[in-house]
Chains A and B, each alone.
Chain A
Amino acid sequence: MNETHAAKNGVAAESWRDRLTRWRYDYWPDHVLGEILAKRWMETAIPVTVLLIVAFVLSEAIPNFLSAASLADTGRQAGEIGFIVLGMALVMIVGGIDLSVGSMFALTNFCALFLMHVLKWPVAAAIPVTLIFGAMLGAVNGILIGIFRLRAFLTTLITLIIYRALYELLTADYATAIAGGMPDSEMWDFIGYGEWAGIPVVVYVYAAIAIMGHILLTRLRPGWHITAIGGSRRSAYNSGIAVRRTVTMCYVSSGVLTAIGGIFFASRLATAGGDIGVGLEVTVLTAAVLGGISLGGGKGSVMKALVGTLIVLLIINGLTTMSLDGGYNRMVLGAILLLAAAIDIRWLKNKHRIVNKVYVSPTYHALPPAPSTAADCGTPWAINDRLRPATAIGLGRIEGPEDVILDRNDNLYAGSRHGDIVRFLAPDYEKMEIFAHIGGTPLGMAFDRNDNLYVCIGGMGLYRVTPERKVEKVTDETNRSYSSVNDDSRLRLADDLDITDDGLIFFSEATVRFEMHEWATDGLEARGNGRIICYDTNTGTTNTVIRNLKFPNGVCIASDGKSFLFAETWGCTVKRYWFDGPKKGKTEIVLDNLPGFPDNINNSSDGNYWMSLVGMRCPALDLAWRMPGFRTRMAKRVPRDEWLFPNINTGCVLKFNENGDVLETLWDMGGKNHPMITSMREHRGYLYLGGIMNNRIGRIKLDNVDTSFVQYDKRWGKS
């Protein structure tokens, strides 16, 4: 924004140190790092990076490592092991572990070979039977762990030994028969060696199953149940999920997927040697953990399983190509598993802390010295006690009326922090009723010409209450900006609004980086995180008009009907934007370097504007705003309750005109009645005051004003 730079240039003699700081923070986007880290895909991004590095290093070190032939071979192995990793992933996501996959792999491999080589069954019969056999092996684990609640680690360790013993007994009897009786089946050979378009069959099958697995985990109920159980078994049980059955089924699936891997392996190598599947559980576990599937359960995806598989295979093949002994192979894998497991645990435990520490990224924000507000300063800013006689409406009955508005029948409306729109009935405003319940935190309000009450709801968006008290959502999203890492299409903190004659609703969104209760963190950053958005009631479309504003707040249509005024709270400015007419698209500064933080803006009876200052600047904060490093460290080291905050315990109401002259101010210096003022409306000679932390609405008689002034009538004409 050029004009904010103009404001910065107004700082008397900006020092070189300040200038360097400003450049540093203007051109280096600190906030992006935290936004990237907070993304969910970050957890997959790290293994993918590792994969790319491993592939690059190995292809540099070993000639032809990534050649087509080598890749096809890797693809075959990847398919076979990949199925097992998928099974392991399922079991791990549900919160368990399956160590018996190596032995199950050997047994299902034997089963397929036995059926094909010895019994000479047709492929169409051998495959289903092998799959069922795998399912039964898995079911043993599943029933013991899922139904009888044995420990997964111990149970699968024991089945690992038993299955292995079984395999050795069987191979002792049938190894020669298997080696001697090659089946004569083209189908069987095709499974083992077949290719389409140079890609092995196993890869297609793997791809199909992986896609199904992805859909299962992310889109289908059983998948959600699996993740839920892994995340918190007890909560899953309490919410009615069939925990035991789901867990059992995960182990069964692991058996079936292992059997698929076994079938492809059998058809390719046709061997029942003694070392098949030995140590496979380490390889598979390493792949799963490297891919980012958490050992703690509840976290994982098919993509992660795939990436982990590829990393592990590339490493194994690389080591094999470099003619390292199998023992080294396993040692390296074991070391990687240890490392990955350690990182997994540390990362999971500390991720949110790292994100919390990195996300808040203050920037350079310089303001000229604030104008004096001393009682003897001789300007309209001089503090006074004019608000002291304010009377309270709804004292103790309403909490947090950020904005107040009056309808054409003199009834008074205000939001509350409970998510209600409260109505006080004219003439004495003693009777209070809930006009509508919306939820969220109702903030700015405006009536349109049909008596609809439009309300900005913090945390929800723009809503409308019809005269029949029906609550309707108007909009809660705008166009996503392409340069933003955070998804900024949802509205986080719609703040204040006004409506043009043509039915355009301009409303401010204070920040796109923080939630409403984190407003002070946005103040700590002092970056232009906010924006002005336009909702067109004629077309029902929403789009962003101005970006990068420092906590835009009050919005008020200007007298020409072609522009609006808006306040930037942390910028301490009021600006005017033309949305129509010859100056269309231009922004001009109306008030600059305010001594406090501007909030809502509304019309006054004499054609000027009322504006509230929600809080006042203090020299220590002004200095801190010029020192982003100080604020960054403060955010990290000091608890939030002890942070240096923008002071919003004292404020005032002021009247200004479109030329940027401040005409008068109204204060309550003791802060007894109105510690905070966030909005005000003039109505029939009175000023009504709202405050987001107050438990009352203030009302004060104005002197020498038009006592017939009703904002509604002025805006939309008398009915």
Chain B
Amino acid sequence: MIDSILKLTDRLLGRGDAAITVPVFDGPLKANNVIEAAEVLDSLEAAQDLATDGQHLFVANGTCVLRYKGNVSEKIHDFEAPVTAIACLPDGGIAVSLAGREVLVVGGDYDGRRWGGSGDIQFYAVNAITASTDGLLLVTDGSVGRSTAHWKTDLMSLGASGRVFELNPANGNIRSVASGLSYAYGVCYADGAAWVSESWRHRLVAFRNDHSPKAVISGLPGYPSRLSPAAGGGYWLTCFVLRTQLVEFVLREHSFRKRMLKEVEPQYWIAPALNSGNTFLEPMQGAHLKMMGVVKPWAPPRSYGLIIRLNNNGEILYSLHSRFDGKNHGVVAAVECQGDLYALAQGSQRILKLPLAEAERSARA
């Protein structure tokens, strides 16, 4: 009773859960242009995920897996379905997710191990895989029922069916780590726990055996996606889209939200996007107005490029940006390999290469 009264006053006054405020880019999140200025390693129309074995960069592109030696790519696998996630295993194998519905190991000791599909477990949107040093796999399944391509529908429908599983390639076992997450998108092993990006709640959650889940970092200004370890300790976290006050507002305007889902095509929704400015049919916000031919870089970002560097405790050290007036938006994955940071900007369909030392210097300047 009291709870519902509080909710009502919150809604009337725009407080609590009804607040549409968005954290600002401040301190270590101070904006820069590092991602926008990055060298383009390759342009790939269907790239989905990045991985590294410490020597080479691996890219899931359409149904293929590419391996890069320097700037030269080589197709090493071709599957029957699009690859939505990829991870390198310590034994030299590769784990991939096919169409988000199956997880498959190729190469290494457990070549051919499969989960999902016709098995006892049903996946829908496997969007990230990570391998531990002892050979276990962690996968995130974004939502029950919606494929990876339909993340926007899941967000705007207030989806909360994300799951995390631990897979054992040695015996094929599956263990459920978490379920009911507001979109699980990205996972990594950290200090004996599984850190998971719970995108629609703007936070990283640590799941540890026999412990209750704990937020590592919350109140992010964007929707977090994949995580990967950084060489000097700590992690790389990408935010594939950012929060804006208008979207936060629409998420709380249920009648408008539902009519929009029903009556408007997804690419024209008031919703975050991997890229923007393609057509005048996209919604425009006040600050997007071009003045004297210039659009403000600090305008509310319908799309944006953001990579966050975390330390071992999940605190933000610094961040790399491509701002609203840039192109390299929708960064869904970032991995570190041989002193370079590789990022996949789905908004511009590019693989970006950032020399680490230089990137860190300009980000901290």
Contact = CB atoms under 8 A, between A and B. Distances in A.
B264 A623 contact: yes
A694 B249 contact: no
B233 interface: no
A671 B290 contact: yes
A619 interface: yes
Interface stretch (B114-122, B133-141, B277-285): B277-285
Nearest to A621: B283
Interface string B274-304: 0000001111111111111101000110000
B87 interface: no
Contact of B286 (A616, A627, A633, A642): A642
Contacts of A671: 290
Interface centre among A520, A621, A647, A671 (most CB of B within 10 A): A647
B20 interface: yes
B308 to A, nearest CB: 23
A649 B292 CA distance: 11
Contacts of B20: 637-638
B253 A633 contact: yes
B289 A619 contact: no
Contact of B290 (A616, A634, A646, A676): A676
Given A619-B264, A630-B253, A645 B286 contact: yes
A695 interface: yes
B14 interface: yes
A613 to B, nearest CB: 10
A650 B280 CA distance: 6
B341 interface: no
Contacts of A643: 246, 285-286
A629 B246 CA distance: 15
Interface stretch (B205-213, B223-231, B265-273, B349-357): B265-273
Nearest to B268: A619
A623 B263 contact: yes
A358 to B, nearest CB: 15
Given A616-B281, A630-B256, A641 B286 contact: yes
B290 A618 contact: no
What does DSSP make chain B's interface, helix, strand, loop or mixed?
A: loop
A642 B280 contact: no
Interface in B239-274: 244-246, 249, 253, 255-256, 259-260, 263-265, 268-270
Interface size classification for chain B: 20 to 34
Given A630-B256, A637-B249, A693-B291, A618 B284 contact: yes
Given A634-B249, A637-B14, A620 B286 contact: no
A675 interface: yes
B255 A627 contact: yes
A415 to B, nearest CB: 15
A619 B265 contact: yes
Contacts of B14: 637
Contacts of B281: 616, 618-619
Interface residues of A, number: 36
A639 interface: yes
A598 interface: no
Interface string A662-683: 0000000001000110000000
Interface string B97-125: 00000000000000000000000000000
A618 B253 contact: no
Interface string A573-599: 000000000000000000000001000
B249 A649 contact: no
B230 to A, nearest CB: 34
B266 to A, nearest CB: 11
A615 interface: yes
B286 A647 contact: no
Nearest to B267: A619
Contact of A627 (B256, B269, B299): B256
A620 B282 CA distance: 8
Given A620-B269, A643-B286, A645-B289, A638 B246 contact: yes
A645 B265 CA distance: 18
A623 B259 contact: yes
A646 B292 CA distance: 18
Interface in B61-99: none
B256 A638 contact: no
B256 A649 contact: no
A74 to B, nearest CB: 43
19 contacts: A520-B286, A616-B280, A619-B264, A619-B265, A620-B269, A623-B259, A627-B259, A630-B253, A633-B249, A639-B245, A641-B299, A644-B285, A645-B284, A647-B284, A648-B289, A649-B289, A649-B290, A650-B280, A693-B291
Closest 5 CB pairs of A and B: A616-B280, A647-B284, A620-B283, A641-B287, A650-B280
Given A623-B263, A644-B285, 20 more contacts: A615-B280, A618-B281, A618-B284, A619-B263, A620-B264, A620-B268, A620-B269, A623-B264, A627-B255, A629-B255, A634-B249, A642-B245, A644-B283, A645-B289, A647-B282, A649-B288, A649-B289, A675-B293, A693-B290, A695-B293
Interface of A: 399, 520, 596, 615-616, 618-621, 623-624, 627, 629-630, 633-634, 637-650, 671, 675-676, 693-695
